[in-house]
């Protein structure tokens, strides 16, 4: 039951939401330290909840919409009916804690499904969420962003994740500025673009004050 429960939660973006909440509290605390937002635990908690909900919503939308945006693959027997690749065997490795085995399996899946954005998104999420390997996750998200066959939702998701990585574990404000502008210009009118616009303004103001 515990394994099924973990898989159920993973499929619905719960771990991603928790990670987003922790990341949100980190950045809110950082902004409090710099005087950009009011002090206090309520503001810190509100920042965590906001980022957590946004992260959960994006991940849930990507996972639930995978059936319509995933690339199609033909059966080896020559059957022309397309199917969506499934990764239950890899997810089982993740649940068991075999991260090295899962990493190898995700690498094989990406090599097999070169033009499938969903495969690369899930592999990137794995490296970021479970292995905390920001560099590998970044490379995979950039692959999705630049993939000609990727759907717009996957590209937007990957671009938002790239921004999060540069603002977070990679700590590269220069690249973050570039990627925030790319998100704003590429997806005008979206919630991600509006949040990116606010983050860009705050980041520029912070850099001017130093």
Residue 38 token pair: 């009011």
Q: Within the chain, what is the greatest distance between any pair of CA atoms?
A: 64
What confidence tens digit (pLDDT) does each residue in 153-193 have? Answer: 999 999 999 999 999 999 999 999 999 999 999 999 999 99
Same domain, 59 and 77: no
Residue 117 confidence (pLDDT): 95
Domain count, the chain: 2
Please give the residue that has the higher pLDDT: either 90 or 44: 90
Considering the entire predicted model, what is its pTM? 0.60
Same domain, 84 and 37: no
What confidence tens digit (pLDDT) does each residue in 104-163 have? Answer: 999 999 999 999 999 999 999 999 999 999 999 999 999 999 999 999 999 999 999 999
Same domain, 2 and 94: no
Listed in sequence order, the residues at least 6 apart from 150 whose beta carbon sits closer than 8 Å to its beta carbon are 117, 144, 158
Listed in sequence order, the residues at least 6 apart from 121 whose beta carbon sits closer than 8 Å to its beta carbon are 62, 140, 141, 144, 154, 157, 158
């Amino acid at each position: 039951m515990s394994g099924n429960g973990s898989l159920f939660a993973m499929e619905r973006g719960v771990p991603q939401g928790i990670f987003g909440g922790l990341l949100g509290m980190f950045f809110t605390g950082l902004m409090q330290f710099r005087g950009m937002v009011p002090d206090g635990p309520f503001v810190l908690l509100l920042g965590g909840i906001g980022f957590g909900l946004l992260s959960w919503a994006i991940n849930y939308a990507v996972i639930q919409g995978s059936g319509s945006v995933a690339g199609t693959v033909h059966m080896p027997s020559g059957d022309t009916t397309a199917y969506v690749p499934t990764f239950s065997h890899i997810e089982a490795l993740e649940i068991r804690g075999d991260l090295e085995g899962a990493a190898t399996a995700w690498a094989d899946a990406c090599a097999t499904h070169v033009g499938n954005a969903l495969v690369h998104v899930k592999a990137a999420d794995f490296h970021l969420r479970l292995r905390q390997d920001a560099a590998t996750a970044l490379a995979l998200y950039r692959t999705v962003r630049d993939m000609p066959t990727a759907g717009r939702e996957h590209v937007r998701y990957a671009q938002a994740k790239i921004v999060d990585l540069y603002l977070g574990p990679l700590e590269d404000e220069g690249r973050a500025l570039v990627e925030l502008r790319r998100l704003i210009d590429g997806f005008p009118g979206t919630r991600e673009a509006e949040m990116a616009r606010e983050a860009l303004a705050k980041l520029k103001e912070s850099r001017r004050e130093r």
